[in-house]
Structure 1
């Protein structure tokens, strides 16, 4: 049997965005693939019976997504980027038959498309979405910016524009912008079940308080605040016409706090239902072969269904108005998205460390796989990670895993690659990662862990504010020390390290604080928290919270620089490859440039690879050819410095 190859990245099929049809035992989903020949992605909407039969493709555009079904189950609305279209098209397809018909075009991306009562759809976009899209020459365009944030990763320069809520009358073809103060940035709009009123989640002052989102109720032109002071709202869903389940966060703890579920009523009651359940309420596990999102929570028959990341797995749970929480589904893997029908039918997408995403149904206490889009992997030898736990020097347990090569021999010594996740509030666990399987198949032992700062644990575990590079660094190094002493097949003279985003920061930090690693690859990293503060879409509030403990860098310059890898660049002895995207506005390209420049000025071994027209999501949703080149660059760097194999001697990847 074959092992996983680098070029297998093109074979994965991603599925998600599941929707049951009303009054029917069928469901819709989005299927996404890579088109290697044309270097692009293709996504379409498919339909299948809950019994696993009658699977077929429903739409045939190259980029169809966001399916929304009318309450009577007779019409499908969806978004699409068709070849000749300059913007985003809203399409209508009757289930009774007929071709999809474009009923509106928007010049800006629209999000949160959902039904909003009789003959109406609601969505969020920028006010310019109703204008005809114009293609301006780059050398003629001038950006005039008067407020922050003025850029966003994946969107580019937004010029400080604020999002608004809209309603589209599907019969008249008319789009109406809902009244809102120009300075307010609307995150979401959700209409009540009877369609007579709606709530918005909005940032009232993105410049002064960018992490605070408030829940408002609007009825007959009257706007009423529903969320208390100091509580930021992440999501809301109606329980009935007078109550809502909301996912909220204590803004005083900001990014380190796990969210909680509350019940909000239109008469001002706001009750925390999960005081004793300090766990992230969404899927926080890392995977590089997803590509399609979907539902993370839903109200069905007065119960609020939601995904929860508990340590290294994602479960489906439900909560009642009295705070009682029940586990609906635990597959010991990663549930990515789901849907539950009114009669209790359940479908979900899931992966495990050895199997990529597929769609499953859950009935009578058993799960059954409904799709086999990634069945090609059955012909490959897949490595299964082995979990181990390390008691850190302060007594906390750290979850860790080791992934051996498929042809592993206990009497052989292997080079090791330590992988560090981003976030820092994400997590590794029971989800599939192509990169890990590829590295194992190439003869490397892969080690990964969830150090302090990770998701999946309580808020105290996640809180490393003002102490980046301290306890988190110790956790990682103590995991490596344990592994070297415990696993006799590890070659301690051939250790490598890599990571992206926060993992890139930690890679930069590690090589400035130890020389035990013989090769390192830093990806979409942070090297200087002062420059990160003002050159990225989240820097001015994320850095204040995580690094400055609510203070900007001009008030705490020593604190910011103490936690910046650039401060320790002269200590670096490890050959370092830096990979970055030119349009990355989450961790901007100067972060890699200044670290690389300093290393070369010091005469250190370093290489910088820059990807044009890519953003922070290069490894997950970049152009297919760029994703392949990134993997190849990473692999060749470790082959060179951990095995002595020159790039010219490395096999070229198959496409």
Structure 2
């Protein structure tokens, strides 16, 4: 048996984007791996069926084949690939015979595909804004930053129609960004977001585009981005959105946008306190966007974070949603046709596998799990200072010897839970018990719990974190001198803040963090919206600026004496690298033990979707930092 190590990232096979054949007998999924030779992501399409070994459907190469979709008659399979350079739509026979052929005529980057019927494939594409390389960029709009967006000049959206013969014609060219296509077979539905907007909170619109040439119709002006659309067989249009401008406290939910008897958009299930998102974190999922919402006949299916798991829910036309995915596993992606559901599911001790109607179809990671034996966590409940019950997970290390690493998730409206995380397993293997708290504001416990973070950054949340550290000591798990801290994004803010309040931790790791709330208001893509809301409306233009300064860890840097490793992506637009630069400079001037790791080319999500070689090296550096500052083992 071998221990989990950062290099194991090259051993995992991660299934996503499942597509059920219309006959319900087989599933095609995109399986992502990391090429051990080049340390780059690669994806191929695989076919899975009950009672038969899986087979590869597309050939291997220096490319990725993703987003498979069967035509309604089951004869053709469409997918998206960069196998000849640009990201394009491709077509092949559903049985795998013949050679895949690209859809011709679309010279823009393809983002999504959707079969309208057996003869028409809808292709969503985005066209880069014209700009000469090296020329100055003139910006006269407010929302010019977007983490991972590739720069301030946003692309324009296009809709194309393609036939099984691979020819395409332009359906719609827009000055906006187009996402989330859906269809009832007669019309196309999509979400349109403004480009280069000067509005602090621009929202988006849900529209219907008749395929018979009639005029477009705006169905909903939503105050927030729309994350998914679906249409049932009776023409009811559903959407996943929060409909709350400029903040992430209000969770996304399922909305009934339009349809028979619908006078205006409203919550589809107003009595269900469900957060309709995949908020449980993991560093071992495919990079393609997962499905959040679907319809099968008149049934509505959607994912929601519940406690420490992501579950699939189903609801009949007039009824309340019920969980249909099994407990003990978290859903990472799904597909549904009438009578069948395909699920990609994971657990904290096993990476993603594929299931069809409850039967497991894959064993992609079984051999690796048998060799490494990842540790399954145990639930932990801690009482906060005000009596609020807080939940978390504890990963015990066989060689921990009193060393406890408290790892705080970001968000703050995300969660640590029953999902596979390679980084956690490597830290357990390195000899650290890993304690992951879900403090107030975390996702999965309802809207009221989620809202408890507002106005409490560096206050109640800091005390929640210390309650978990106290629990670890009082129950005998942690040696008081062997406590460690780690966290990223909001979790990094909380690490930084905690270090200004206590020196009880032996060493800490703060990643892509917030240190200066004043500068973040102008350098981040969400500083003047999400952060302003989280701090109760405090702004730069009034007396709130003084409080923002006081609640910035940088303002109290002289109190930090704990050895600190700072890690940051150089292209992070969410928490820009200047945040870590300022704290690093302050601490080095003070003569503190601080090291700064800069990740070139990486945006905010580097720990889960960054370049594989950088991810592997980052995990190694973090363990090295912790090991450098730990007490020698007791023998």
- Which deviates further from its counterpart, 115-124 or 353-362? 115-124
1:216 is aligned to 2:207? yes
Corresponding residue number in structure 2 for 1:127 = 127
Alignment counterpart, residue 362 of structure 1, candidates 357, 364, 373: 357
- Looking at structure 1, the residues matched to 81 and 588 of structure 2 have their Cα atoms a distance apart, in angstroms, of 46
Change (3 A) 1:577 1:460: same
Corresponding residue number in structure 1 for 2:327 = 331
Corresponding residue number in structure 1 for 2:541 = 554
1:468 is aligned to 2:457? yes
Corresponding residue number in structure 2 for 1:40 = 40
> Counterpart of 2:482 in 1: which secondary structure?
strand
1:142 is aligned to 2:130? no
CA offsets, 1:591-630, max 9 Å, x none?
Answer: 1111101111222211111111222222112222211110
Alignment counterpart, residue 207 of structure 1, candidates 183, 198, 201: 198
- Looking at structure 2, the residues matched to 553 and 109 of structure 1 have their Cα atoms a distance apart, in angstroms, of 39
1:372 is aligned to 2:359? no
Alignment counterpart, residue 598 of structure 2, candidates 607, 610, 629: 610
Corresponding residue number in structure 1 for 2:161 = 168
The CA deviation at 1:112 is 2.7
Change (3 A) 1:158 1:64: farther
Alignment counterpart, residue 282 of structure 1, candidates 265, 277, 285: 277
> Counterpart of 1:315 in 2: which secondary structure?
strand
CA offsets, 1:26-48, max 9 Å, x none?
Answer: 11100111112212111111112
- Looking at structure 1, the residues matched to 92 and 407 of structure 2 have their Cα atoms a distance apart, in angstroms, of 45
CA RMSD of aligned residues (A): 2.6
The CA deviation at 1:124 is 3.9
- Looking at structure 2, the residues matched to 216 and 41 of structure 1 have their Cα atoms a distance apart, in angstroms, of 35
* Conserved 8 A contact 1:291-1:620: no
Change (3 A) 1:252 1:16: closer
Corresponding residue number in structure 1 for 2:19 = 19
Change (3 A) 1:317 1:523: same
Q: How does 1:486-565 map to 2 (within 5 A)?
A: 486=475, 488-547=476-535, 549=537, 552-555=539-542, 556-565=544-553
> Counterpart of 1:625 in 2: which secondary structure?
helix
> Counterpart of 2:548 in 1: which secondary structure?
helix
> Counterpart of 2:248 in 1: which secondary structure?
helix
Corresponding residue number in structure 2 for 1:625 = 613
* Conserved 8 A contact 1:360-1:371: no
- Looking at structure 2, the residues matched to 483 and 211 of structure 1 have their Cα atoms a distance apart, in angstroms, of 45
* Conserved 8 A contact 1:258-1:278: no
Q: How does 1:361-440 map to 2 (within 5 A)?
A: 361-363=356-358, 367-407=359-399, 413-440=401-428
- Looking at structure 2, the residues matched to 237 and 359 of structure 1 have their Cα atoms a distance apart, in angstroms, of 23
CA offsets, 1:65-89, max 9 Å, x none?
Answer: 122222222222222223x62x223
Corresponding residue number in structure 1 for 2:264 = 269
> Counterpart of 1:492 in 2: which secondary structure?
coil
> Counterpart of 2:445 in 1: which secondary structure?
coil
The CA deviation at 1:118 is 5.9
Alignment counterpart, residue 189 of structure 1, candidates 174, 181, 192: 181
- Aligned pair count reads 623
> Counterpart of 1:262 in 2: which secondary structure?
strand
- Looking at structure 2, the residues matched to 394 and 489 of structure 1 have their Cα atoms a distance apart, in angstroms, of 24
Corresponding residue number in structure 1 for 2:93 = 94
- Looking at structure 1, the residues matched to 107 and 551 of structure 2 have their Cα atoms a distance apart, in angstroms, of 42
* Conserved 8 A contact 2:181-2:229: no
> Counterpart of 2:485 in 1: which secondary structure?
strand
- Looking at structure 2, the residues matched to 284 and 274 of structure 1 have their Cα atoms a distance apart, in angstroms, of 20
Alignment counterpart, residue 312 of structure 1, candidates 284, 299, 308: 308
The CA deviation at 1:179 is 5.4
CA offsets, 1:415-473, max 9 Å, x none?
Answer: 11110111111101111111111111111111111001111111221122232111211
- Which deviates further from its counterpart, 93-102 or 106-115? 106-115
For structure 2, list consecutive stretches of 5 or more residues without a partner in the other structure. Answer: none
CA offsets, 1:334-357, max 9 Å, x none?
Answer: 111112222x22221111111111
- Which deviates further from its counterpart, 53-62 or 433-442? 53-62
The CA deviation at 1:564 is 1.9
> Counterpart of 1:2 in 2: which secondary structure?
coil
Change (3 A) 1:36 1:416: same
Corresponding residue number in structure 2 for 1:291 = 286
Instruction: Compute the TM-score of the two structures, normalised by the length of structure 1.
Output: 0.89
1:352 is aligned to 2:339? no
The CA deviation at 1:197 is 4.4
Instruction: Compute the TM-score of the two structures, normalised by the length of structure 2.
Output: 0.91
CA offsets, 1:521-558, max 9 Å, x none?
Answer: 11111111222222233333222322352x54334312
Change (3 A) 1:574 1:90: same
The CA deviation at 1:374 is 4.2
* Conserved 8 A contact 2:128-2:156: no
The CA deviation at 1:157 is 0.6
CA offsets, 1:187-230, max 9 Å, x none?
Answer: 4333x322334343435884314362332333444343333675
* Conserved 8 A contact 2:409-2:491: yes
Change (3 A) 1:172 1:402: closer
The CA deviation at 1:241 is 5.4
Change (3 A) 1:60 1:195: farther
* Conserved 8 A contact 2:332-2:345: yes
* Conserved 8 A contact 2:148-2:604: yes
* Conserved 8 A contact 2:112-2:125: no
